[in-house]
Amino acid sequence: MSTAKKSTLTLKTEQALRERISDEAIKIGDKLPTTKALALEFGVSRTVIREAVAALRADGLLEAKHGVGVFVSNKNDDQPPNDQPLGNLRFSASMLDILELRMAVEVHAAGLAAARRSWSQEAKILSCAERFAAALEADQPTEEADWTFHRSISEATNNEAFTEFFDRLGQSILPRKALEGKKRGTLITHQYLEKSIVEHRAICEAISRGDVDSAREAMKNHIGGSQMRYRGLLLVGQIAADSDSELDDA
């Protein structure tokens, strides 16, 4: 199965699961069928089911209980992107502050991944990077693939605290999630996202070589690039808003 087809299939499966969760018959606390049962029901592989479930966990709709199963934890995903639940806390920092936090966590995670990753974990990191590129090429949403790429690196640290960091914050860590709907489509351009593809590949190559210092530097460049681009988007958005105000006043 091609990467592009797999990405589209995952997105369709994710949407189907969203629709199931939103059904009035489903209650918060209900347990989902097993991965095997869902794979048979939707006619997809277990890997596709796991990826779709991971996306819904990131959005706070599902919760996994180790050794027990996956449960519905929320029936709508309309929470403000910078106000996601963190256990009993609420995360309300600005996106630039979140990117600084990610710099501290993910640079170290990349170095650990380069030193500790297994062959299967390395393959997953590469696959996630390819999914992001394929989603962009197919003009599909890239948020889930982007988040999964970074989470796969946290898994390769073989330190559960890093993985929990991503599961708790979910896709709210992505800069484009903090932009309003119309601004997101206008300011997050294809060219903007293509820069992430190049940066993702640099991270993959360093981790594959087991080069701890290069992996850390590649991740630092990636998060740093996101900080610079997001600041630029904020500036562009402010200029556009000011221009609209001037027209309204004219």
Q: Which CATH architecture has domain 85-249?
A: Up-down Bundle (1.20)
Q: 230 versus 162: which is more confidently predicted?
A: 162
Direct distance between the N- and C-terminal alpha carbons of the chain, in angstroms, rounded to an integer: 56
Average pLDDT of the chain to the nearest whole number: 78
Distance of CA 57 to the CA centre of its chain: 11
- Number of neighbouring beta carbons within 10 Å of residue 184: 15
**pLDDT at residue 20 in the model:** 86
Specify which residues 101 forms β-bridges with.
Answer: none
**pLDDT at residue 243 in the model:** 38
Check pLDDT > 90 for residue 216: yes
Residue that has been written with the tokens 């609420």 in this structure:
90
Query: Where along the chain do its domains lie?
Result: 3-72, 85-249
- Please give the Cα distance from 90 to 69 (Å, whole number): 25
Render pLDDT for 15-64 as a digit per residue (tens, 0 to 9).
Answer: 888 888 888 788 888 899 998 999 898 888 888 888 888 888 877 788 88
34 Cβ contact list (under 8 Å, min separation 6): 69
pTM across the whole model? 0.58
Q: Which CATH architecture has domain 3-72?
A: Orthogonal Bundle (1.10)
Render pLDDT for 112-147 as a digit per residue (tens, 0 to 9).
Answer: 999 999 998 999 999 999 999 999 988 888 888 899
For the four alpha carbons of 116, 169, 124 and 64, in that order, the dihedral sign comes to positive
**pLDDT at residue 218 in the model:** 96
